[in-house]
Amino acid sequence: MNGIPEILQTRGKNYLLVFENIEKGYQGNRKDTSLVQGNDSTREPAQAPVEINPAVDAVNDGANPEIDAKLVGSGDETIGGRKFGTFNGVIRPTILTILGVMMYLREGWVVGNAGLGGAVLIILMCYFITGATALSLSSITTNIRLGAGGVFTLVTQSLGLEVGGSIGIPFYLAQGMSVAMYIYGFMEGWVHIFPNHSPLLVVIAVFAVVFALSYISTTLAFRVQIFVMIGVILALGSIFLGLYSAPVLQNPTFFGSFENANYWILFAVFFPASTGIMVGASMSGNLTDPRRSIPAGTMTAWGLSLLIYLVLAIWYSLVATPEELRGNLTIAIERAYWGPAVLIGILSSCFTAALSSFIASPRTLQSLGKQKILPFPEFFGKLHNDEPRNAILVTGGMVLIILLLGDLNAIAQIVTVFFLMTYFIVNFILLIEKKLNLISFRPTFRIPILVPFLGSLSCLTAIVVVSPLLGLTCVLLSITIYIYLDRRALEAPYETLNSGLFISIANWAARKIALDARANHLRSWKPDILYPVERTTQLQGYYRLLLSLARPQGSVQAIGVKTKKHSRLLRGLDNVIRDIRMDGIYASSAIIESPDFLSSLRTAVSVMKSPFFEPNILFSPVSDRTQEELQGMLEIAGENQLGVVFLARHPDTGLGRGRQMNIWIREQSPDWQLSFSMANIDLPLLLALMLIKNWDIRLRLITLVDDPAEIENARRYLQNLMALARIPKGYSIVADSANFRDYIDGDAPHADLNLFGLTNKIDKKAMEELVKETESTCLFVKDSGLESVLM
């Protein structure tokens, strides 16, 4: 068949799996294309890439809707057996959620308090925030493969599971509270018709119906929305016709007196009216083509609902006085052409908004469970007949508790803050993506960077002015969730890996640092150790010391110098590096094949000047190198502004008990002045601080002077040095007048480690003699000039 692989000519599951694996192959570095090339050991591997034949286009022409959905969808597990298009899956549920309780029972109250101009301003502010978010959401969804879970999945794919969970959980709570808010609205309309009915019983009855429809089938719930939409259209028609039946048309009050509430309380109460824009995104797992349907459907619903709310604000200002609007929450029923139609609309709108939110919120919860964000992930993430029924049960319990404890206005403010937090994150994601200008960010729906910037700014401003306490509570909740998830070290599947934002931020920072010629970064200094080795055992031998010098923010980079004669000596180097990483230190390795050690080191140092973790300390044991090699290493370090640490190990004591360390400071007379850069003092003290932190080692500073009169100056210098360097208490100071050799042989206090400064001329024999004379391991250190212990 025109060169199509044999397996592509079969039907059913094989047909679907081939395309699924082709799709996954391109997304996952072409992993698992075994179904195309043959995973049987007897089958010959494919000799050429799979050719996509025009005959296969029948799949994309709707010949098999099931395959269509799988190809176009997310690649994740989908929810619900039937797939919905743009109108049924996005526009209808979104606009019916937006045109809910607030339109009938609170918009007139807002107009009565704020006046027509004030109400229009509130509506435009609400819709500016949701509009910017809808545009950002639309742009992002055209760039990623959005699976089930909607906004949670979007955040997860951009910023990782930890951030996704810290936002997804509050977003789920906001969705659940929205259900309760709409049920309260239904109750108010019902009690207006039947004042003798118990509000509590009405609430419970509506909840039971909404819960049952959501539990039985998403398809059934969406079919109910068709009839509900007819009721909403009838209500709006009756309201607008009320202009002709009204006895008197009022002169609109442009700005009201704000008698019942100030501007920002009105904003907080009304804002949930515009928050249904993410219902379509929450249904992403049930959409045939979420990448196309979510942008088109969301923006259509946003524009239509904005127009309706603005026209209704004008209508309210014309048919009633501000006093009537403030005192009568059901004024729309009385001033409509036919009041019962509005009652039907109120009940229909509130019911369908509650139903849409109840359909969406369990899917967010199911996605949270599926990605193991929540405890008992198998329970929350499980599907029954393609429906998240466990998540529906939990959501139902939460909604019922809120209904029994809350009230409409209080719930509205909480929902406002939670949604604003979610909207901020959506705008922020797009802002960062556009700012970093990643090659992977190629949305088919593009918007100016000003949109997410103003959207983020307006969300933060609204949170602060609506309720700083609620905003702080929401932020603390998200931070707590993030810390909890971060400690769990979640492993995201490849479908939900972040889009490289953090890596790109790090690259941007690295370029910024590299291009800033004026910066010396003294305050941000950390030990980034370069250790050239010829045997893996060399790295293993100083494993504990290297960890102690680098922890917690430093790094260890091993350069393996490989010769043909000793090609097997570097086996296992990667394993040691992996162990260092597991101990919490960034580590890397590279191997250079060369017969000459110094030329290999020079090449390695030159190449490694570009990474973010640019080495700043060259480390080497003295015993492993000749005097010529040590001298060459010192010169290479000087040329590249690296500090030097040469370690001469005592054959018997090794590192000893790791309890005491002597640092020998040369005499500074006649100028005993401290400065931000002190030759061969900064790096020794910085290394000592690392060992104090990681080994709890005690520090002793020793200075010998020729003139006894300088002893007091030396002691004062060392005391000031320790104070300005903020060395933890427990150190000691020794200042004496003596010959260095005589003092070493006689009165020098013993230590597990002795640290000496290096001159520009290496004397390996003298280093080894100091090891014998001090009966300890010695570190020989030379500053690079880019350290400062006083910063």
Q: What is the pLDDT of residues 56-86, one digit of tens each?
A: 333 333 333 333 333 333 333 444 446 778 8
Spatial distance between the Cα atoms of 348 and 674, rounded to a whole number of angstroms:
79
pLDDT over threshold 80, residue 690: yes
SS3 644: strand
Nearest residue to 147 via CA among 427, 492, 438: 492
Q: What is the pLDDT of residue 494?
A: 45
Q: What is the pLDDT of residue 780?
A: 95
Q: What is the mean pLDDT of residues 25-54?
A: 36
User: CB atoms < 10 A from the CB of 243, how many?
Assistant: 15
According to DSSP, the residues that pair with 387 across neighbouring strands are 384
Banded pLDDT at 389 (limits 50, 70, 90): confident
Contact 65, 47 (CB under 8 A): no
SS3 208: helix
| Residue 617 φ/ψ, nearest 5 degrees | -135, 130
CA–chain centroid gap for 710, Å, is 58
CA–chain centroid gap for 202, Å, is 42
**Which distant-in-sequence residues (6+ apart) come within 8 Å of 140 by Cβ?**
154, 158, 426, 429, 430, 433, 443
Q: What is the mean pLDDT of residues 681-699?
A: 90
Side by side, the strands of the sheet bearing 555-562 are 586-593, 555-562, 528-533, 617-621, 643-648, 777-782, 753-757, 660-664, 698-705, 732-737
Q: What is the mean pLDDT of residues 593-613?
A: 79
Nearest residue to 755 via CA among 682, 670, 705: 682
- What type of residue sits at position 561? V
DSSP string, 553-574: T-EEEEEEEE-GGGTTTTTTHH
Q: What is the mean pLDDT of residues 590-618?
A: 82
Q: What is the pLDDT of residue 106?
A: 85
| Residue 647 φ/ψ, nearest 5 degrees | -110, 125
pLDDT over threshold 70, residue 610: no
Q: What is the pLDDT of residue 228?
A: 78
Answer with the residue of higher pLDDT: 634 or 218.
Answer: 634
Spatial distance between the Cα atoms of 51 and 360, rounded to a whole number of angstroms:
40
Q: What is the pLDDT of residue 175?
A: 82
Q: Which of 8-17, 138-147, 452-461 has the largest mean confidence?
A: 452-461
Nearest residue to 411 via CA among 7, 42, 106, 643: 106
% of the chain beyond a pLDDT of 70: 80
| Block residue for tokens 């229009």 | 120
Contact 561, 647 (CB under 8 A): no
Q: What is the pLDDT of residue 515?
A: 62
pLDDT over threshold 70, residue 233: yes
Answer with the residue of higher pLDDT: 77 or 736.
Answer: 736
Q: 289 burial class (0-12, 13-18, 19+ CB within 10 angstroms)? A: middle
Q: Which of 21-25, 291-295, 518-522, 662-666 has the largest mean confidence?
A: 662-666
What kind and span of H or E run contains 661?
strand 660-664
DSSP string, 120-131: HHHHHHHHHHHH
Q: What is the pLDDT of residue 755?
A: 94
Q: What is the mean pLDDT of residues 136-160?
A: 74
According to DSSP, the residues that pair with 533 across neighbouring strands are 560
Q: What is the pLDDT of residue 642?
A: 92
**Which distant-in-sequence residues (6+ apart) come within 8 Å of 521 by Cβ?**
513, 786
Q: What is the mean pLDDT of residues 249-273?
A: 87
Q: What is the pLDDT of residue 395?
A: 92
Q: What is the pLDDT of residue 78?
A: 42
Q: What is the pLDDT of residue 660?
A: 92
Q: What is the pLDDT of residue 512?
A: 67
Return the HEC string of 265-311: HHHHHHHHHHHHHHHHHHCHHHECCHHHHHHHHHHHHHHHHHHHHHH
Spatial distance between the Cα atoms of 408 and 101, rounded to a whole number of angstroms:
10
Record the tokens describing residue 358, joined without a space.
């109840």
DSSP at 749 = P
| Residue 662 φ/ψ, nearest 5 degrees | -100, 130
**Which distant-in-sequence residues (6+ apart) come within 8 Å of 617 by Cβ?**
527, 528, 529, 530, 642, 643, 644, 645, 683
Contact 158, 499 (CB under 8 A): yes
Answer with the residue of higher pLDDT: 762 or 38.
Answer: 762
Nearest residue to 126 via CA among 236, 273, 342: 273
Q: What is the pLDDT of residue 42?
A: 37
| Block residue for tokens 């807002």 | 110
Q: Which of 31-35, 373-377, 480-484, 554-558 has the lowest mean pLDDT?
A: 31-35
What is the residue-averaged pLDDT of the chain? 80
Nearest residue to 174 via CA among 380, 419, 368, 476: 419
Q: What is the mean pLDDT of residues 159-177?
A: 82
Answer with the residue of higher pLDDT: 284 or 6.
Answer: 284
pLDDT over threshold 50, residue 496: no
What pTM value is reported for the model?
0.62
- What type of residue sits at position 177? M
Sign of the C-alpha dihedral computed for residues 280, 281, 285 and 291 taken in this order: positive
pLDDT over threshold 60, residue 442: yes
Banded pLDDT at 178 (limits 50, 70, 90): confident
Q: What is the mean pLDDT of residues 300-329?
A: 93
Contact 360, 175 (CB under 8 A): yes
